[in-house]
Amino acid sequence: MYTACGSIEDAQKVFDESSSSNVYSWNALLRGTVISGKRRYGDFLSTFTEMREQGVDLNVYSLSNVFKSFAGASALRQGLKTHALAVKNGLFSSEFLKTSVVDMYFKCGQVGLARRVFDEIKEKDIVSWGAMIAGLAHNKRQWEALGLFRMMISQEGIYPNSAIITMFMVSGALFFLDFVNF
């Protein structure tokens, strides 16, 4: 609850006073630190390090928070290491986690790596398509984003949601949508 309200300090205090902690409470603390909107990368890293040192088993939600933090900090090297950790621990079969990695690679400017991971996603949903399209637009590849947008509709039968349309508006690529017949 405290993390959802942006009070990371109170959340940390309750967490520290708790007699038992598990992966879910650790994930809540990680997520709160990531979404707090402040530059708390160092706090996030120390929490994640402590989680690992205490032997807490990571799950896809733990790693998703990690990738989101690395994306916000453009921490490519740490992202690459964590990607390898996810593969090594058998957690990289999750489409949810792969989408987080796609987002991280784009935000670190690694378009090729993002595309490679996107291509590994077997069952692409609106979120994975949105991450790929937004990432291309973010990296000034609006024409590629448009091509993927068309493919999403024509080949996969997935229609854009408001987030994807908004992304095109924000990226200045709205005029590209004139070329799309859907």
Every domain of the chain and the residues it spans? 1-113, 124-182
Give the 3-state DSSP-derived string for 30-89, with helices as H, strands as E and coil as C.
HHHHHHCCCCCHHHHHHHHHHHHHCCCCCCHHHHHHHHHHHHHHCCHHHHHHHHHHHHHC
Binned average pLDDT, 10 residues per bin, the chain of 182 residues: 59 65 83 71 83 90 90 88 92 94 95 97 95 92 90 94 82 54 50
The answer to whether the beta carbons of residues 29 and 46 sit under 8 Å apart is no
**117 near 105, Cβ under 8 Å?**
yes
- pLDDT, residue 5, reads 57
Q: What is the pTM of this model?
A: 0.83
State the burial class of residue 155 (Cβ atoms within 10 Å of its Cβ: 0-12, 13-18, 19+).
exposed
Question: What is the per-residue pLDDT for 4?
Answer: 58
In degrees rounded to 5, what are phi and psi of residue 110?
-100, 75
pLDDT score at 168: 73
Q: Look at residue 2 in the predicted model and tell me its pLDDT.
A: 52
Closest by CA to 130, choosing from 87, 170, 92, 94, is 170
List the one residue out of 12, 115, 109 whose CA is nearest residue 3.
12
Is the Cβ–Cβ distance between 178 and 155 less than 8 Å?
no
The pLDDT value given to residue 152: 95
Give the N- to C-terminal CA distance of the chain in Å, as an integer.
42
Greatest Cα pair distance, the chain, in angstroms, is 59
Count other C-beta atoms under 10 Å from residue 134's C-beta.
Answer: 22
Cα 126 to Cα 53: distance, rounded to the nearest angstrom: 36
